Amino acid sequence: MNRRLIRPNLAEIRDSREREKERHESDKRKMHPPYDTHAENYYYLKQMNKKTKMAVAFADGQVIEGYIEWYDRNCFKLNRDDAPNLLVYKANIKYLYKTEEPKEEEDLKKKPR
């Protein structure tokens, strides 16, 4: 009995690998950019850690000031010195802005370089 060695066709294997690679690359191109950049989270954390006094302007024109204590997806807690603390829903906010510089930055500006 003679046994015969069967060799695979290398050209077919190479072609199948190239097709697989092209299909994989086309899947990569179809990916959409991430929806959430986490920039909002970074901003809130930065203001919370520095205890920056913030002003919140609402859609109806009212403006309140305070410090952000915590936040989540829909709202944040605003601590106020002269009035009760508030739970502010983000959907009602027109914009936020800083009313004063954090104490650390003020100290750095006073020191001459």
Percent of the chain with pLDDT over 90: 49
Distance CA 13, CA 85 (A): 69
* pLDDT given at position 8: 74
Report d(CA 16, CA 9) in Å as an integer. Answer: 11
pLDDT at 75: 94
Residue 106 has pLDDT above 60, yes or no: no
CATH code, residues 39-110: 2.30.30.100
Model pLDDT for residues 15-41, shown as the tens digit of each residue: 888 888 887 776 666 667 777 788 989
Least confident of 21-25, 48-52, 92-96: 21-25
Average pLDDT over all residues of the chain: 84
